[in-house]
Amino acid sequence: MRITGGLARGIPLVLPKGDAVRPATDALRQAVFSSLAARVAGARFLDLFAGSGAYGLEALSRGAAGGVFVEKNARTADFIRQNVTAVCKSLGRPPDDLQVVTADATHVMPGEAPDLVFIDPPYEIIPEVAPKLFGRLDELLRGKPEALVVFEMPGEVALAPPGWTCLKQLGKGARQPTVRIFRASPASP
């Protein structure tokens, strides 16, 4: 697994052994960042259920200003810190604008509203956590109507959170990883 684009392209990411992390595939991340294009440069991100940190680090490689990684497993969070160090070294920048938080992603939301939110939870918990996450994001992103939520899930999962519009779906087929990009629906007058 590696960074697929931007200035840190090709930098390998380290992962814990076993099935503790199910990282997004390189091809799916490339499709996501092709879709996001110019929205990444200068953006602040929030990477929930961060795992290896691949989504946030990919954003950083492509010009994001910084962000927060949230990972519940302390050992996995240590791998994110290693990956942050490697990517920042490649970019020639300090990791000052990056934070790794070891916590439950459904309970932690940073103070500053991000421009991009990446959510890649264990697939089996999506029905349970998605309503909580979108409820929290309603509050967090209230002042940023253009913020995007990038949610990875299996293709067969139907996710239509109230108050959110799916702008795009990447990937096809049941049992295949897909990404849906959401934005808060405009408030009704």
Question: Which range has the worst mean pLDDT, 54-63, 69-78, 99-108?
Answer: 99-108
Residue 188 has pLDDT above 50, yes or no: no
List pLDDT tens digits, range 6-43.
889 889 888 877 655 556 677 788 889 999 988 999 99
What is the rounded distance in angstroms from the CA atom of residue 20 to the CA atom of residue 45?
Answer: 23
Residues facing residue 100 across a β-bridge: 69
Q: What is the mean pLDDT of the chain?
A: 88
The sheet with strand 148-154 has its strands ordered as: 98-102, 66-71, 44-48, 116-119, 148-154, 177-184, 164-170
Task: Return the biggest CA–CA distance within the chain.
Answer: 51
DSSP states of 119-160 as a string?
E---GGGHHHHHHHHHHHHHHHTTT-TT-EEEEEEETT----
Question: Do 48 and 134 contact (CB within 8 A), yes or no?
Answer: no
Cα torsion 142, 71, 107, 181 to 10°: value is: 30
What length is written for the chain? 189
Q: Given the structure tokens 């990447």, which residue do they identify?
A: 170
Residue 86 has pLDDT above 70, yes or no: yes
Half-sphere exposure of residue 132, counting CA atoms within 13 Å on the CB side? 14
pLDDT the model gives residue 69: 96
Backbone angles phi, psi at 28, to 5 degrees: -65, -40
Domain ranges of the chain: 26-184
pLDDT the model gives residue 27: 78
pLDDT the model gives residue 81: 96
What is the rounded distance in angstroms from the CA atom of residue 102 to the CA atom of residue 49?
Answer: 10
Residue 132 has pLDDT above 60, yes or no: yes
pLDDT the model gives residue 42: 95
pLDDT the model gives residue 143: 84
Backbone angles phi, psi at 137, to 5 degrees: -70, -30
List pLDDT tens digits, range 151-171.
999 888 889 999 999 999 998
Question: Which range has the worst mean pLDDT, 20-24, 138-142, 178-182?
Answer: 20-24
CATH code for 26-184? 3.40.50.150
What is the rounded distance in angstroms from the CA atom of residue 54 to the CA atom of residue 140?
Answer: 23
pLDDT the model gives residue 189: 43
pLDDT the model gives residue 54: 92
Percent of the chain with pLDDT over 70: 94
